[in-house]
Amino acid sequence: MKLLRYGPAGQEKPGCLDAEGRVRDLSAHVDDIAGAALLPETIARLKSLDVTTLTIVDGTPQADLRLGPCVGQTGKFVCIGLNYADHAAESGMDVPPEPVIFNKWTSAIVGPDDEVIIPRGSQKTDWEVELGVVIGKGGAYIDEANAMDHVAGFCVVNDVSEREYQIERAGTWDKGKGCDTFGPTGPWLVTPDEVGDYDNLSMWLEVDGKRHQNGSTATMVYKVPHLISYCSQFMSLQPGDVISTGTPPGVGMGLKPPTYLSGGETMRLGIEKLGIQTQMVRNAT
């Protein structure tokens, strides 16, 4: 099932995508794609619905019908760094002996096709296509063997990053990762049964039509079940939390010479079975 949120920013309603690519309204069944709506029993109830009986929402999704972030009320936006060996190499860093955890602030979360805004003074705003994991059943100290029982679904994330703020200025990575609009999420949350082999999904990103990233989740160092278990050792995971699992090579920082966003570009990115995002880039005023 493909779950989504549609409508103006801050006023999104819950919906799903039908077999013809139309949005169907789920407002009579859940308040939002958030919290308790992501629990396994609620997902099972939504899957049991006859989608063809649900109201069709006017408009074409991602054209004249805006889609918001596919998850609402996210409490934690947890990210994993250097989780693809080839990306670590292009960054001039070793593969870490344990997953690197950092955070994006939830104020970074925007819809899949919303604008990405370069912060004032930024010279090194970069792109990163990533597989997002949405937590359904919460928990702490989750066993790796049972970790997938805690997953509501998967989505596309663009882990937009300001490299100077992240690496060259004092402190942690977080200040370069959590700027407003730096977390486009969606277009939809795809339940695991529709995704299948999440360890072998092609993923890509283009800037102004030029492909820079062209990879696969197959080269992920620390796999999804391990990441869920690992993160849960340091924080309880809650329904609606998002774990963004790292990026393949081809980021601007790794190009020769390094290339960054300056405003006016269009980013387009996608992951097999999970959909496509398109963002216009502009400078903060």
Identify the CA nearest to 131 among candidates 218, 208, 40, 43.
218
pTM of the model: 0.96
Eight-state DSSP code of residue 96: P
Read off the pLDDT of residues 59-113 as tens digits, 9 standing for 90 and up. 999 999 999 999 999 999 999 999 998 777 777 778 889 999 999 999 999 999 9
Residue 234 falls inside a structural domain: yes
Q: What is the DSSP string of 206-227?
A: EETTEEEEEEEGGGBSS-HHHH
User: Mean pLDDT, to the nearest integer, of 180-197?
Assistant: 98
Residue 36 falls inside a structural domain: no
Read off the pLDDT of residues 232-273 as tens digits, 9 standing for 90 and up. 999 999 999 999 999 999 999 999 999 999 999 999 999 999
Residue 42 falls inside a structural domain: no
Strand partners, 272: none
Residue 183 falls inside a structural domain: yes
Q: Respond yes or no on whether the N-terminal peptide bond of residue 257 is cis (omega within 30° of 0).
A: yes
pLDDT at 279: 98
Domain count, the chain: 1
pLDDT at 93: 74
229: domain CATH number is 3.90.850.10
Give the domain extent around 262.
68-283
Residue 44, H or E segment: helix 40-47
End-to-end CA separation in angstroms for the chain: 39
What torsion, rounded to 10 degrees, do the Cα atoms 53, 40, 148, 229 define?
140
Residue 196 falls inside a structural domain: yes
Residue 265 falls inside a structural domain: yes
Q: What is the mean pLDDT of the chain?
A: 96
Q: Is the dihedral of CA 39, 40, 41, 46 positive or negative?
A: positive
pLDDT at 86: 77
Read off the pLDDT of residues 194-243 as tens digits, 9 standing for 90 and up. 999 999 999 999 999 999 999 999 999 999 999 999 999 999 999 999 99
Residue 20 falls inside a structural domain: no
Q: d(Cα 160, Cα 126) in Å, to the nearest integer? A: 6
pLDDT at 184: 98
Residue 226, H or E segment: helix 224-231
